[in-house]
Structure 1
Amino acid sequence: MSLISQETTAKTRFFCVRFQPQSTSTLSADTEQGDNRRKLARVLLTRQEEIKAYPSSVWLLQRTTLLQRFTDIDDVGHKYHLDLVLEDVLDKDSTVNCTAEVLYHLGNKNIAPAVQFTIEGELKNTDEADYIFYSRIKSLEKELAAENIPDSHGSVSPEMEPIHLLAQVASGYVIWQNSTENTKFQLAQIKHVKQVKRSDDCLEFDYMILLHEMVSQEIIPWQMTVLWHPQHGVQVTQDSCQPKHALE
């Protein structure tokens, strides 16, 4: 068993957490379990270097086992201390325990939450699946292009599953950078994605995604440029909120 500790850094590794504000300084496990949706809406963990983010390995929140405490730090912000269980989206029986500290800065919506986390346990090796996907995309005679993932029935074709998971990983960075205690973002759909031709070994994709902000029920178009290589993980090199008419 190993313990992996990481501190988030922009465009490499990130851990997105969204909370509703709390008025008390200490919260029990029973209180947290009874009101989990209000306290913790979404966690997305992306790994690079020791913890790697790949289309074949995406870890999402399964449950929050304990909100250890909430700290109101004068003139700084609100810090949350959590125990979490993360699950592999492709293997629901594969879980790891995680502890995290999340700091939301007061009065500044332009600063992403500061996150530190520790994972307990081993992350499964996905090298083979990653290289199969990488080789398939590199062997295409024409750059990949697709739209509406999932489709209107909520289905994702097997050949588009890695593209969809890659969008989940990359959108997690966008969500982290734009989260506050009063927002709850979730990837709703890939409106369209197009592979960008490159002269190096990296794969590059230009995504237009829809983010569902579940508090306001707003659907937000967002463009992001994503690089990926099996040896280097995922990198969001550019992203921007788009006007609603961008979907027309």
Structure 2
Amino acid sequence: GKNIPVALHNNHLLFSFTPFPSPSTFHPQIKARTEEGAEEDVMATGELNPNHYPARRAAQVVQHYLNTRYGSPFRLIGVQTVHSGNAEDVADSGRKYQLELSVNDIITNVGLSFFSFSFNHNTCSAELFFPKGKGQQPPEVKASHEGLLKIDIKAQEEALYQKYKTNQTLMSAQYLPDSHGHIEPDMKPFWHLGILASSFIMLNESTENTLYNVAQVANITQLVGEIIHWKMLFTWSPAEGVKVVQMKRLPHRHEREKSPKTN
């Protein structure tokens, strides 16, 4: 057996968001605002008016979902038009929605075609389901639209990644956008990144009573990607291969520095 220290490094750029003091903050790291419709509209069943809250709320949830799948600092999906929709109760388990809508890339303002959200799996399809039960549960969304990938942004993504991966000074910014709605051009990818990151939160927190949008990124800071150290005890033989006997994650560097020295 060999007792070997192992260092693992996750080759990603690390960022943290800090809170913006506001009563409308729905997550400790991203400030967002919600728009509330009349309570009686929430439980609308059957064909929906595309301009009313039930259809708009459902479409917004689909937007969050598509951004979690296809979003980038250089690609953000927005709902352009809700064309039609319907809702129905599913026994006592929840409610499902079907929508027809069109979306566009918010950054380039390029339309990404009209497509249908339905249960027809021969087309681009999605299922939007709000479960009922004790405690809040995130909605279930199944959607895809490969047309969202036709805009080639690989070169832009790689350039941004390499710039901040090799930058000697870690980036930091506050208030994107500022109180006048202004964002410096070189900070726009990080504003988009904030929207993208918050899409995971907004998707998880969405209900039939919410309509989430990101209002502002209060602070974004690039973090140092610390190497994680492990100590492992393992055996190896040609017949049995590698077998791990013990593994222990060693303290972070700052934890080791705070620990009292012992003989």
Normalised TM-score (structure 2): 0.60
How far 1:114 moved relative to its partner?
0.4
Q: Is 1:195 equivalent to 2:222 in the alignment?
A: yes
How far 1:151 moved relative to its partner?
0.6
Evaluate the alpha carbon distance shift between residue 102 and residue 47 of structure 1 in structure 2; reply closer, same or farther with a 3 A threshold: same
How far 1:118 moved relative to its partner?
3.2
Q: Is 1:156 equivalent to 2:183 in the alignment?
A: yes
Give the letter for the 1:66 counterpart: S
* Larger of the two Rg values belongs to structure: 2
Evaluate the alpha carbon distance shift between residue 159 and residue 40 of structure 1 in structure 2; reply closer, same or farther with a 3 A threshold: same
- Hey, what does 1:39 align to over in structure 2? 55
- Hey, what does 2:89 align to over in structure 1? 72
Q: Is 1:58 equivalent to 2:76 in the alignment?
A: yes
How far 1:90 moved relative to its partner?
1.2
Q: Take 1:165 and 1:129, find their aligned partners in 2: how far apart are those partners?
A: 13
- Hey, what does 1:167 align to over in structure 2? 194
**3-state SS of paired residue (2:190):** helix
How far 1:23 moved relative to its partner?
4.1
1:13-41 deviation digits (Å, cap 9, x = unpaired): xxxxx99654443115xx324x2x45314
- Hey, what does 2:255 align to over in structure 1? none
- Higher helix proportion: 2
Normalised TM-score (structure 1): 0.64
Name the % identity: 23
Q: Is 1:96 equivalent to 2:96 in the alignment?
A: no
**3-state SS of paired residue (1:87):** strand
Q: Take 2:198 and 2:144, find their aligned partners in 1: how far apart are those partners?
A: 22
Unaligned stretches of 5+ residues in structure 2: 1-34, 118-125, 228-263
Evaluate the alpha carbon distance shift between residue 88 and residue 109 of structure 1 in structure 2; reply closer, same or farther with a 3 A threshold: farther
- Hey, what does 2:210 align to over in structure 1? 183
Alignment of 1:1-248 (within 5 A): 21-27=41-47, 31-33=49-51, 35=52, 37-41=53-57, 42=60, 43-44=63-64, 45-48=66-69, 52-67=70-85, 69-98=86-115, 99=117, 100-119=126-145, 121=147, 123=149, 124-199=151-226
Which of structures 1 and 2 has the larger relative contact order (alpha carbons within 8 angstroms, sep 6+)?
Answer: 2
Q: Tell me if structure 2 keeps the 8 A contact 1:61–1:87.
A: yes
Q: Tell me if structure 1 keeps the 8 A contact 2:74–2:192.
A: yes
**3-state SS of paired residue (1:153):** coil
Q: Take 2:130 and 2:36, find their aligned partners in 1: how far apart are those partners?
A: 9
Q: Take 2:164 and 2:220, find their aligned partners in 1: how far apart are those partners?
A: 13
- Higher strand proportion: 1
Unaligned stretches of 5+ residues in structure 1: 1-17, 201-248
1:205-232 deviation digits (Å, cap 9, x = unpaired): xxxxxxxxxxxxxxxxxxxxxxxxxxxx
Evaluate the alpha carbon distance shift between residue 106 and residue 47 of structure 1 in structure 2; reply closer, same or farther with a 3 A threshold: closer
Evaluate the alpha carbon distance shift between residue 188 and residue 127 of structure 1 in structure 2; reply closer, same or farther with a 3 A threshold: same
Evaluate the alpha carbon distance shift between residue 122 and residue 103 of structure 1 in structure 2; reply closer, same or farther with a 3 A threshold: closer
How far 1:101 moved relative to its partner?
2.0
Q: Take 1:24 and 1:175, find their aligned partners in 2: how far apart are those partners?
A: 22
- Number of paired residues? 175
Give the letter for the 1:25 counterpart: T
How far 1:199 moved relative to its partner?
4.6
How far 1:65 moved relative to its partner?
1.4
Give the letter for the 2:190 counterpart: I
Evaluate the alpha carbon distance shift between residue 108 and residue 187 of structure 1 in structure 2; reply closer, same or farther with a 3 A threshold: farther
Evaluate the alpha carbon distance shift between residue 24 and residue 175 of structure 1 in structure 2; reply closer, same or farther with a 3 A threshold: closer
**3-state SS of paired residue (2:182):** coil
